[in-house]
């Protein structure tokens, strides 16, 4: 498959609202937004439409033989006249079936490739969005958008063009055949077409509103279920099962009401279309009987016309349903576009005019009058923070909750861009460097020991998949993890379970330490490395932490003031302002002799 053309749309800036719940776009605008992902396979779309049109043409030609068989074979009882039209009918049926199979497969192939491409694009975008920007969505809601909403987008952008071409051309073919047979009866039949079209427009607008409510409610319910199931131990321990059931029930009822609204609209639209079709058929039968009595039409001609009518009405109904379903799918398009507009997204592509960092990277970090405010907040989190950290220093970052300690690390990793000032790595402004290069030289040890479902080996090598077995074991030994890993049933090939639930908290922390040690980046960000651990567990990981920070520029974000005694420099944040302290000389976590702040 060729590389897809980029989807063109505006992305919200740092100060723009990240959610656009009430923004509405037309089905045509939604189609234009996502069409580039289909256009790369336009040849398959065109061929599938042509094949399906050929299939419809074969059906129309075969129907014409009904009148011939009736008038030349059945009415006079002439069996000899049967074989030639029968053979032709069989040939047309075979050709139509082959064209239908090939066309349907190509249409399905295009749809599946569109689904794969769009899901990959949205997921890739989410991987580049700062984590804080995703917090406004629930995990379940994002999963809903990546699955059900994307499938609805496919029905509008990939499937609808083929269906539209097939239904429209089929309607034209069968209408032309009907006019050829009897233009008077054809006019009676097509009189119902404007009514079907008007009904589709009205019901399409109503269905769009109902679909938006249903998709939003579905996303909220998925997020609620994901949160409740993830926190089930706390729910059970606090006896809050009934409260959680009530919340799920309330959101479930909201989803049910939105679904019932869609059902009501569909229940009315279908029978209404069938009623119009019945009135048209009765009018045709009455007019046809009159034409036969006046010898303007043969019985075979009326049967052929009735067959054309049997194919024409479904095509007209399909066109109306396409309009209704397009309006419904537009609500899903809006939800996917909303995710794609969530930002800001840092530039990740390498720029040819920017030279990479000089090797080896030493790890000098400078914050030059850095300020930062989160979107939609009036008060800045950081104000004119100035730090000049020489390579190899251990910097403890302390302060009350909400004063911007973790924000410093996020700015360094370019999860966010400073509102003012610059951040330098070895004297280079990191905003001028590709995000991937900046993060290549920084290792993050988050507060939560994040493990993925997989083996111990896979989790240790997550940051360096190409690491050798010797390097993996050396990192595990340095992190004081080799001992307990060796005692596991399958050693390094033992599954850790979802989120590492097969391991204790201390074991998960040591696996995370081994992963950080294996990466060997010159800059290290430790976010509350001892949070949630008891004194015995803290004492056990202190030696691995010292080995991890040795020779690296380390930012130790902590509430535990006991850890600050090992620091070369203490940064205390309060009201967004950094207050610097150089502690008395003590052995640091990085070396037995200590480093001095410049």
Q: Where residue 17 falls among pLDDT bands split at 50, 70, 90?
A: very low
Query: Could you give the dihedral angle defined by the CA atoms of residues 287, 293, 299 and 305, in that order, rounded to the nearest 10 degrees?
Result: -20
Instruction: Please state the separation of Cα 555 from the chain's center in Å.
Output: 34
Distance from C-alpha of 462 to C-alpha of 440, rounded to nearest angstrom: 13
pLDDT at 288 over 70: no
Q: Where residue 423 falls among pLDDT bands split at 50, 70, 90?
A: very high
Half-sphere exposure in the Cβ direction for 233 (13 Å, CA): 1
Which pLDDT does position 280 carry in this prediction? Answer: 66
pLDDT at 594 over 60: no
C-alpha closest to that of 66 among 89, 38, 47, 43: 89
Q: Where residue 586 falls among pLDDT bands split at 50, 70, 90?
A: very low
pLDDT at 65 over 70: yes
* 15-19, 104-108, 262-266: range with lowest mean pLDDT: 15-19
pLDDT at 578 over 50: yes
Answer with the residue of higher pLDDT: 338 or 23: 338
Question: 305-322 burial, b if ≥16 CB within 10 A, otherwise e?
Answer: bbbbbebbbbbbbbbbbb
pLDDT at 319 over 80: no
pLDDT at 540 over 80: no
Answer with the residue of higher pLDDT: 488 or 351: 488
Distance from C-alpha of 1 to C-alpha of 8, rounded to nearest angstrom: 20
pLDDT at 293 over 70: no
Mean pLDDT over 267-294 rounds to 67
Distance from C-alpha of 499 to C-alpha of 236, rounded to nearest angstrom: 20
Which pLDDT does position 38 carry in this prediction? Answer: 80
Query: Residue 309: in which H helix or E strand, if any?
Result: helix 299-340
Strands (DSSP E) contained in 314-415 are 365-372, 382-389, 394-398
Which pLDDT does position 354 carry in this prediction? Answer: 66
Beta pairing class for 569-574 and 394-398: parallel
% of the chain residues with pLDDT over 90: 2
| Start-end of CATH 3.40.50.300 domains in the chain | 365-581
pLDDT at 565 over 60: yes
pLDDT at 3 over 70: no
Answer with the residue of higher pLDDT: 27 or 486: 486
Whether the bond between 289 and the residue before it is cis, its omega within 30 degrees of 0, is no
pLDDT at 313 over 50: yes
Which pLDDT does position 1 carry in this prediction? Answer: 36
Answer with the residue of higher pLDDT: 228 or 435: 435
Average pLDDT, the chain: 76
Answer with the residue of higher pLDDT: 125 or 311: 125
Query: Residue 583: in which H helix or E strand, if any?
Result: none
Which pLDDT does position 352 carry in this prediction? Answer: 57
* 59-68, 152-161, 488-497: range with lowest mean pLDDT: 59-68
Q: Where residue 284 falls among pLDDT bands split at 50, 70, 90?
A: low
Query: Which segment, 47-61, 169-183, 508-522, is predicted with the most confidence on average?
Result: 508-522
Answer with the residue of higher pLDDT: 456 or 62: 456
Which pLDDT does position 289 carry in this prediction? Answer: 67
Residue 2 is classified by DSSP as: P
C-alpha closest to that of 161 among 47, 76, 55: 47
Query: Which segment, 28-37, 467-476, 535-544, 561-570, is predicted with the most confidence on average?
Result: 467-476
Residue 453 is classified by DSSP as: S
Scanning the structure block, which residue is given the tokens 């009934």?
A: 242
Query: What's the token pair of residue 519?
Result: 């990466």
pLDDT at 204 over 50: yes
Whether the bond between 360 and the residue before it is cis, its omega within 30 degrees of 0, is yes
Q: Where residue 21 falls among pLDDT bands split at 50, 70, 90?
A: very low
| Start-end of CATH 1.20.1560.10 domains in the chain | 27-340
Answer with the residue of higher pLDDT: 167 or 371: 371
Mean pLDDT over 84-102 rounds to 84
C-alpha closest to that of 403 among 578, 556, 561, 560: 578
Q: Where residue 16 falls among pLDDT bands split at 50, 70, 90?
A: very low
Answer with the residue of higher pLDDT: 6 or 87: 87
Which pLDDT does position 192 carry in this prediction? Answer: 64
Q: Where residue 15 falls among pLDDT bands split at 50, 70, 90?
A: very low
With beta carbons less than 8 A apart as the criterion, state whether 270 and 318 touch: no
Distance from C-alpha of 328 to C-alpha of 266, rounded to nearest angstrom: 11
Query: What's the token pair of residue 258?
Result: 């939105």
Which pLDDT does position 457 carry in this prediction? Answer: 92
Start-to-end CA span in the chain (Å): 56
Query: What's the token pair of residue 566?
Result: 């090992």
Distant-in-sequence, close-in-space partners of 482: CB < 8 Å, separation ≥ 6: 473, 476
Distance from C-alpha of 425 to C-alpha of 365, rounded to nearest angstrom: 5
Q: How far is CA 273 from CA 167, 176, 194, in A?
A: 16, 22, 12
C-alpha closest to that of 37 among 127, 97, 121, 129: 121
Whether the bond between 344 and the residue before it is cis, its omega within 30 degrees of 0, is yes
* 104-113, 186-195, 324-333: range with lowest mean pLDDT: 186-195
Number of C-beta neighbours around residue 207 at 10 A: 26
Distant-in-sequence, close-in-space partners of 303: CB < 8 Å, separation ≥ 6: 66, 67, 70
Q: Where residue 292 falls among pLDDT bands split at 50, 70, 90?
A: low
CATH class for the region spanning 27-340: mainly alpha
Pick the CATH number of 365-581 from 3.40.50.300, 3.40.228.10, 3.40.190.10, 3.40.50.2300: 3.40.50.300
Distance from C-alpha of 471 to C-alpha of 460, rounded to nearest angstrom: 10
Query: What's the token pair of residue 441?
Result: 């030289």
Query: What's the token pair of residue 423?
Result: 């951040």
For the whole model, what pTM was predicted?
0.67
- Residues 113-128 pLDDT 10s: 888 888 888 888 887 7
Residue 597 is classified by DSSP as: -
Query: Residue 242: in which H helix or E strand, if any?
Result: helix 241-293
C-alpha closest to that of 304 among 81, 56, 68: 68
Answer with the residue of higher pLDDT: 404 or 310: 404
Answer with the residue of higher pLDDT: 380 or 21: 380
């Amino acid at each position: 498959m060729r590389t897809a053309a980029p989807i063109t749309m505006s992305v919200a800036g740092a100060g723009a609202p990240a959610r656009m719940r009430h923004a509405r776009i037309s089905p045509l605008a939604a189609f234009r937004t996502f069409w580039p992902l289909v256009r790369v396979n336009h040849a398959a779309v065109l061929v599938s439409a042509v094949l399906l049109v050929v299939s419809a043409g074969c059906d129309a030609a075969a129907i014409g033989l009904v009148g011939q068989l009736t008038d030349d074979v059945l009415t006079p009882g002439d069996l000899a006249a049967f074989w030639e039209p029968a053979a032709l009918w069989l040939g047309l049926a075979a050709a139509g079936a082959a064209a239908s199979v090939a066309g349907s497969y190509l249409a399905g192939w295009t749809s599946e490739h569109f689904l794969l491409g769009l899901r990959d694009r949205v997921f890739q975008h989410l991987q580049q969005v700062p984590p804080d920007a995703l917090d406004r969505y629930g995990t379940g809601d994002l999963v809903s958008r990546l699955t059900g909403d994307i499938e609805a987008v496919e029905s509008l952008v990939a499937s609808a063009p083929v269906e539209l071409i097939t239904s429209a051309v089929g309607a034209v073919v069968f209408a032309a055949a009907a006019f050829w047979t009897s233009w008077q009866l054809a006019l009676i039949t097509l009189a119902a077409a404007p009514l079907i079209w008007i009904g589709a427009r009205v019901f399409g607008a109503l269905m769009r509103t109902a679909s938006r409510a249903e998709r939003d409610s579905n996303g909220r319910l998925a997020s609620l279920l994901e949160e409740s199931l993830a926190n089930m131990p706390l729910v059970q321990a606090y006896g809050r099962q009934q409260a959680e059931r009530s919340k799920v029930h309330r959101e479930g009822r909201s989803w049910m009401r939105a679904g019932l609204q869609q059902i009501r609209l569909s229940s009315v639209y279908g029978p209404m279309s069938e009623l119009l079709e019945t009135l048209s058929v009765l009018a045709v039968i009455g007019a046809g009987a009159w034409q036969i009595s006046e010898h303007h039409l043969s019985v075979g001609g009326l049967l052929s016309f009735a067959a054309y009518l049997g194919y024409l009405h479904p095509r007209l109904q399909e066109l109306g349903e396409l309009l209704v379903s397009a309006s419904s799918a537009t609500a899903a398009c809006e939800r996917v576009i909303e995710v794609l507009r969530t930002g800001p997204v840092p530039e990740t592509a390498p720029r040819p005019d920017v030279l990479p960092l000089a090797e080896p990277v030493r790890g000098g970090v400078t914050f030059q009058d850095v300020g930062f405010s989160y979107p939609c907040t009036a008060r800045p989190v950081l104000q004119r923070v100035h730090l000049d950290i020489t390579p190899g220093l251990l910097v403890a970052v302390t302060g009350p909750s909400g004063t911007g300690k973790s924000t410093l690390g996020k700015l360094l990793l370019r999860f966010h861009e400073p509102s003012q000032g610059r951040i330098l790595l070895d004297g280079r402004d990191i905003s001028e460097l590709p995000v991937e290069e900046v993060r290549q030289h920084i290792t993050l040890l988050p507060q939560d020991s994040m493990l993925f479902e997989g083996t111990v080996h896979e989790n240790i090598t997550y940051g360096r998949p190409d690491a050798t077995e010797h390097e993996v074991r050396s990192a595990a030994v340095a992190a004081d993890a080799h001992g307990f890993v060796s005692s596991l049933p399958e050693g390094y090939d033992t599954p850790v379970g979802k989120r590492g639930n097969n391991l204790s908290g201390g074991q998960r922390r040591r696996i995370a330490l081994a992963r950080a040690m294996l990466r060997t980046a010159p800059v290290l960000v430790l976010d509350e490395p001892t949070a949630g651990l008891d004194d015995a567990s803290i004492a056990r990981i202190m030696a691995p932490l010292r080995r991890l920070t040795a020779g690296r520029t380390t930012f130790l974000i902590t509430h535990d003031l006991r850890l600050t005694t090992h620091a070369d420099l203490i940064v205390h944040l309060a009201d967004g302002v950094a207050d610097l302290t150089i502690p008395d000389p003590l052995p640091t976590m990085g070396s037995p002799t200590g480093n001095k702040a410049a």
